[in-house]
Amino acid sequence: MNQENLTGHISRRYNADIEHVRQSVLEMGGLVERQIEAALQALKDGDSEAALKVAQDDYKVNRLEVAIDEECTRILALRAPTAVDLRVVIAIIKTITDLERMGDEAEKIARLIAQLATQERPTNGYREIRHLGKHVIAMVRNALDAFARMDVDLAVQTALDDQVIDQEYEAISRQSITFMMEDPRTIRRVLDVMWIVRSLERIGDHTKNICEYVIYTVKGKDVRHTSLDDMLRGSESEEGAEPAP
């Protein structure tokens, strides 16, 4: 039933395989992070062409997903991992699905930014989007760190950060509605802003999912539909699991 310990040879091969696939996930995550960053940089610069380049590069994220997915299937078929090893592979299969969808959101954001860049800019240079964007990018980075080190405390903390992202998103949405009502000529532009922040908020959701897979891998329990309080209790840590500010 359990083949991983049959021989040291198999075990070492398995470890090399899993290490390779873990590195690929981090590479894919880094790429997604850079896609979001580049899109927001294009917004800051009002650079439509740079934004379109980001959108066109999404195929790179997709290509990595397919490759990692195939590698995971191969590991499951050839190595038949069990217990924590099996959980790692399952967590990776799920993580890359979320990363791929984060890439899709980055593509959508980039297309909207390319559109906005051709129009008149508000005086604040879309500061609210860039502020939320910075927050989301930091969350993505922390989730990837938590994944790299299988750090449950960081994963819990980062998952909790999603609440702050949601609040910020809600605030921008409310403000946007006010803008539209005050000056209906801005409706199209403000809607583009709303779609962008919505996509950023979704990236936060996907990032939270990744944190939950880290917790699942280490703890062996599915925390996706448990409350944040339970998640905090579950982290069994003296510190490091403070609610986000």
Query: By the criterion CB under 8 A, which residues form the site for its own copies?
Result: 1, 3, 59, 62-63, 65-66, 69-70, 73, 76-78, 80, 82-83, 86-87, 90, 93-94, 97, 177, 180-181, 184, 187-188, 191, 222, 224-225
Token pair of 106 as six digits: 């980055």
Instruction: Provide, rounded to whole angstroms, the least separation between the CB of residue 184 and its own copies.
Output: 5
- Of 1 and 229, nearer to its own copies (C-beta) is 1
- Of 34 and 224, nearer to its own copies (C-beta) is 224
Instruction: Provide, rounded to whole angstroms, the least separation between the CB of residue 198 and its own copies.
Output: 8
Token pair of 170 as six digits: 């809600």
- Of 82 and 237, nearer to its own copies (C-beta) is 82
Give the separation between CA 193 and CA 29, rounded to whole angstroms. Answer: 25
Give the separation between CA 88 and CA 112, rounded to whole angstroms. Answer: 36
Instruction: Provide, rounded to whole angstroms, the least separation between the CB of residue 183 and its own copies.
Output: 9
CB 115 within 8 A of CB 43: no
For residue 161, the tally of other CB atoms under 10 A from its CB is: 23
- Of 78 and 171, nearer to its own copies (C-beta) is 78
In the chain, count H helices and then E strands.
8, 0
Instruction: Provide, rounded to whole angstroms, the least separation between the CB of residue 177 and its own copies.
Output: 6
Pinpoint the alpha helices (H) of 118-186. 127-149, 152-182
- Of 42 and 216, nearer to its own copies (C-beta) is 216
Instruction: Provide, rounded to whole angstroms, the least separation between the CB of residue 225 and its own copies.
Output: 4
Give backbone dihedrals phi and psi of 227, rounded to 5 degrees, phi first.
Answer: -75, 165
Closest to 160 measured CA to CA, from 202, 125, 204: 204
Give the separation between CA 111 and CA 98, rounded to whole angstroms. Answer: 20
Give the separation between CA 41 and CA 26, rounded to whole angstroms. Answer: 22
- Of 69 and 153, nearer to its own copies (C-beta) is 69
Give the separation between CA 164 and CA 168, rounded to whole angstroms. Answer: 6
- Of 2 and 237, nearer to its own copies (C-beta) is 2
Instruction: Provide, rounded to whole angstroms, the least separation between the CB of residue 238 and its own copies.
Output: 29
